[in-house]
Amino acid sequence: MARPAEKLADALDALHQLQNAGRVAIRSSDLSRTDRPRLIDAGFLREIMRGWYISTRPDEEAGESTAWFASFWGFMSQYLDERLGSEWVVGPDQSLSLLTGNRTVPPQLLVRSPGGRNKPTDLIHGTSLIDTRLDLPGEADRTVTEDGVRVYRLEPALIAVTGQFFTNYPTDARTALATQRDASALLERLLNGGHTVVAGRLAGAFRNIGRDRVADEIVAAMRAASYDVRESDPFAAQLPTPLPRDPSPSANRIRLMWMEMRGRVLQAFPEPPRTNDLEAYLEKVDENYAADAYNSLSIEGYRVSPELIERVRDGNWHPELHEEDRRQRDAMAARGYWEAFQAVKESVRRVLENENAGAVADRYHQEWYRALFAPCVNVGLMKASDLAGYRNTGVFIRGSRHVPMSHDAARDAIAAFFELLSEEPEPAVRVVLGHFIFVFIHPYVDGNGRMGRFLMNVMMASGGYPWTIVPVERRKEYMAALESASVTGDIGPFADFLADLLKAQA
């Protein structure tokens, strides 16, 4: 008779085969009546709705949402394909968000389908699905995202959304508008449909982002066809600076976030104190090392003690001699933090010597990253290729509705980010948006939080602000502030949080 461990191994093998086949949404019928309860009891399977499951990790705590938010879009595409075939599409608002790189999990996903039920389906972690019985846009007006989600194409979505979309989701709307090289694709639909109100709204929207020529083309073409067009700006505020002609939605998203958030940051942050005593500043940085390492590593879930940190700093950590040191994950993290801290301190020195802070971070942040993880590579806990740099795969943030952009989009975004950081005149903005937008992009597979806090402190030096530690005791508040900025675009709580840390430290 097979032992319980062997039975669980057989069940895991069945689940593994489903995963290899690309299954995210797992039906009851995909697994046998014996395998399914074993996987649920062992924590490898979680019910999302009656008869449907996703894969989970057994070490997830009760109430942990990461597996669901990470699986959300893949689950939805497979579940809806199973139920409705290809006869469904998410609404134009959500289509625009997805097409412009905003993959944040919505509280309720609205889907159109001729076979819709016109009622909501409750899911887990405060999410739901409502499939409305509505006709679909034409086949030429639909496409499919990389997650398999069926969406409107961008131009018909811009025409289908109401004016409220521009007010409620200005970053998504402006990012979508910036993808249009000219008015041709939109005008074909506007003229054929006689959409005079929409034409006026889109003309005003294009003028808002500095695309006057596109706005003029829309108005002129509609009037040439004898349509009465009255231009109106649907946005609640004017864009302070026109967007550059960059075809990358992810790069434009970062530029828009920077423009929209910087004013709120300046309201929250104290004036930069500046400093002329370079050596005294660096001495204070050194004094903060132990507390910074303990708190930063603890925020990321490493179990490090002050004793371990001192062993690393004093050189009493010998993985080449002691097996315990070689195998200890937390010790590897502590050693990497020490090495990275030294590299970051050298970047701080450059900034204090009046080098451009954004350019310094751009030039040297990859060195910080390699120092952070080289100890793990050297003892075989990570592959050498993990030091290559930016990620080549998707990533997820534990417990967050914010799903970072694809790895290709992240490369465009990080380039725009460092341009903005280098051009920004205000140290306070460099501090707050330097940290937040870096972790929003999440350019690395691991270490983004630690890198973001290192980046924050290099930017602190650019204004003479002191090295600032995010205490592990305030982790929940810290993560909630980052979540608010990522999901709703409200940078206020995060700016206030960092400003409060500065005041407390002073």
Flag whether 449 is marked binding.
yes
Quote the pLDDT of residue 326.
46
Measure the CA–CA gap between 469 and 22, rounded to whole angstroms: 42
Q: Torsion angle, CA of 265/268/274/275, rounded to 10 degrees? A: -110
Predicted confidence at residue 312, as pLDDT, reads: 60
Look up tokens 């938010």; give the residue.
Answer: 69
Token pair listed for 180: 């249009």
For residue 117, the model assigns a pLDDT of 93
Cβ proximity of 458 and 357 under 8 Å: yes
Domains of the chain: 4-59 (no CATH), 88-224 (no CATH), 249-505 (1.10.3290.10)
453 assigned ligand-binding residue: yes
Quote the CA–CA distance of 357 and 421 in Å, as a whole number.
8
pLDDT value of residue 112: 97
**What's the pLDDT at 399?**
87
Pick from 460, 442, 462: nearest CA to 499: 460
Spell out the per-residue pLDDT of the chain, length 506, in tens.
456 677 888 888 888 899 889 999 999 999 999 999 999 998 889 999 999 999 998 877 777 899 999 999 999 999 999 999 999 999 999 999 999 999 999 999 999 999 999 999 999 999 999 999 999 999 999 999 989 999 999 999 999 999 999 999 999 999 999 999 999 999 999 999 999 999 999 999 999 999 999 999 999 999 999 999 999 999 999 888 888 888 899 999 999 999 999 999 999 999 999 888 999 999 999 999 999 998 998 888 766 567 656 666 666 655 555 555 544 667 778 889 999 999 999 999 999 999 999 999 999 999 999 999 988 877 676 788 888 889 998 898 988 999 999 999 999 999 999 999 999 999 999 999 999 999 999 999 999 999 999 999 999 999 999 999 999 999 999 999 999 999 999 999 999 999 999 998 87
CA distance 51 to 40: 13
Q: What is the pTM of this model?
A: 0.89
Tell me: is residue 193 an annotated ligand-binding position: no
Instruction: Single out the residue of 410, 420, 362 nearest to residue 390, CA to CA.
Output: 410
261 annotated ligand-binding residue: no
Residue 301 marked ligand-binding: no
DSSP characters over 209-268: TT-HHHHHHHHHHHHHTT--------SSS--SSPPPS---HHHHHHHHHHHHHHHHHHHH
Q: What integer pLDDT is reported at residue 304 of this predicted model? A: 58
Can you give the pLDDT at residue 430? 98
Catalytic residue set: 442
Residue 118, marked binder:
no
On whether the CB atoms of residues 420 and 362 are closer than 8 A, the answer is no
